[in-house]
Amino acid sequence: MGEPPYRAAQILAWVHRKRAVTFEEMSNLSRALRARLAADFVLARLEPAFVADSADGTRKLLFHLPAERGVRAAAIESVLIPQVDRPDDARDRLTLCISSQAGCGMGCRFCATARMGLVRNLRPAEIVGQVRAGIALAAPTALTNIVFMGMGEPLANYGPVKTALEILSAEWGYAISPRRITVSTVGLAPAVSRLIAETGVNLAVSLSATTDPQRDRLMPVNRRFPLAGLLRACRELPLPRRKRITFEYVLLAGENDADADARRLVRLLHGLRVKVNLIPFNPFPGAGFAASPRARILRFQAILRAHGIGATIRESRGQDIQAACGQLAAARPAA
C-alpha cells in the first residue's frame, strides 16, 4: 500500500494484541489510511455459533466457517478445559484445545472426527480466531495453555499451523509462550523434526499401540510412518534440557490395554525423555470400541511407573456435551 514497514507492526498489534473490532479504533494510523483499510479489507472475527456447557466446567465451542473465495463451508470445534492435571498441582489451568483442520484424513479408528474425513485445511486466521474467541469467552480468567488436539492433524496443515504459532507467540500477537503450547500429532515423522527445529512448542505424539500390526489397524498413518522410524525421529529431536515428549495412548478394552502392551511400551520408549498420557477412550455412537475398565487403566499406569516412566491418566471431560472431538461438529454441520 506504499506505507512504511512499521505500519505493519502497528496494524498487527491492533488486530491481535489490542483486538480492535474496527479500523476506526486504530488511532495511531492516519484517518486516510484507516479509510483505505476499511475500504479494502474486512476485520473478520470468528464467533462461536454454539457453546455447550458441561456440568464439569468444560465448554465446547462450535464454529461455522462460511464458504468464501474457493474454500468450503465447514464446522470446527474448540474446547475450554479448566484443569487440575495432578492432585499435587494446585495451580489453576485453563487450557484451550483447538482444531487445525475441519474433519481429518488420518482415519484413526477410535476417533469421531475421522468419520467426517478431511473437509479442508484451516487458514491461519481460522486457527488464531479460535484462540481469540476462547480468550473472549473465558474472560476475565486468562488462558494458560493452548493445545492443538482438536479436529485434524496439525502437521498435515504445516504452513498455516506454523503461521498461527508465530501469531500466537509474537509480542504483537497473543504473547503466549511456546512453552505453553502443545502440538499433538499422529507422527508424520519428517514434519515432527521440522516443527521442533522451527518452533519451541511442546510435542505430543499419539501412539496408542506398541506393534506395527496393531498400530496399522488402529491408526492407518502407521503404514506410511511405522513405529521404528517415528521413534527414531523422536530420539533425534534437538530437545532442550528438561523438556520431555508426551506420548498419548488411548486405552481401548481388549485392543491395546494388556500388561504385555504396557511392557512393550516401556521397551519402545527406552532411552527417550518422555511422559505418557493415558487417555480413557471417550465412546461415541458406532465406535466399535469400549473404554478400558478403570482397574485396567490403573494397572497399565502402574506398570509404566514401575519402570520409571511418568504416566498420568487424562480424565474424560465433558461427556455430557459430546466432547469426544468431532461429535458436536458432526451433529451440527455448517449450512
**Region from 147-155, 209-217, 240-248, 294-302 binding ligand SF4, contact rule CB under 6 A:** 147-155
How far is the C-alpha of 23 from the C-alpha of 19, rounded, in Å? 11
Residue 153 Cβ vs ligand SF4, minimum distance, rounded to whole Å: 4
Select 106 or 164, whichever has its Cβ closest to ligand SF4.
Answer: 106
209 makes contact with ligand SF4 (CB under 6 A): no
Q: What Å distances lie between residue 293 and 3, 285, 330, CA to CA?
A: 63, 19, 27
203 makes contact with ligand SF4 (CB under 6 A): no
Select 113 or 292, whichever has its Cβ closest to ligand SF4.
Answer: 113
Q: What are phi and psi of 95, to 5 degrees?
A: -100, 135
Is 111 assigned a catalytic role?
no
Query: Any idea which residue has 511422559 for its cell?
Result: 275
Is residue 289 within 8 A of residue 281, CB to CB? The reply is yes
79 makes contact with ligand SF4 (CB under 6 A): no
Is 77 assigned a catalytic role?
yes
Task: Please report which helix (H) or strand (E) contains residue 185, including its range.
Answer: strand 181-185
Neighbouring CB atoms inside 10 A of 115's CB total 17
Any bridge partners for residue 81, and if so which? 95
**Region from 29-37, 149-157, 239-247, 310-318 binding ligand SF4, contact rule CB under 6 A:** 149-157
Select 104 or 328, whichever has its Cβ closest to ligand SF4.
Answer: 104
Select 29 or 104, whichever has its Cβ closest to ligand SF4.
Answer: 104
To 5 degrees, how large is the angle CA 250–CA 127–CA 121? 75
For residue 31, give the C-alpha cell.
484517518
152 makes contact with ligand SF4 (CB under 6 A): yes
114 makes contact with ligand SF4 (CB under 6 A): yes
Catalytic residue among 97, 111, 234, 325: 325
277 makes contact with ligand SF4 (CB under 6 A): no
Q: How many residues bind ligand SF4 (CB under 6 A)?
A: 11
Residue 59 Cβ vs ligand SF4, minimum distance, rounded to whole Å: 20
Q: What Å distances lie between residue 122 and 6, 103, 132, 279, CA to CA?
A: 28, 10, 15, 26
Select 37 or 111, whichever has its Cβ closest to ligand SF4.
Answer: 111
Q: What are phi and psi of 209, to 5 degrees?
A: -165, 160
Q: What are phi and psi of 334, to 5 degrees?
A: -65, 150
261 makes contact with ligand SF4 (CB under 6 A): no
Is residue 97 within 8 A of residue 149, CB to CB? The reply is yes
How far is the C-alpha of 64 from the C-alpha of 137, rounded, in Å? 17
Contact residue for ligand SF4 among 62, 116, 119, 151 (CB under 6 A): 151
Catalytic residue among 24, 77, 236, 255: 77
Residue 186 Cβ vs ligand SF4, minimum distance, rounded to whole Å: 5
How far is the C-alpha of 78 from the C-alpha of 51, rounded, in Å? 10
Task: Please report which helix (H) or strand (E) contains residue 235, including its range.
Answer: helix 227-235
280 makes contact with ligand SF4 (CB under 6 A): no
Interaction site with ligand SF4 (CB under 6 A): 104, 106-108, 111, 113-114, 151-153, 186
What are the catalytic residues?
Answer: 77, 325
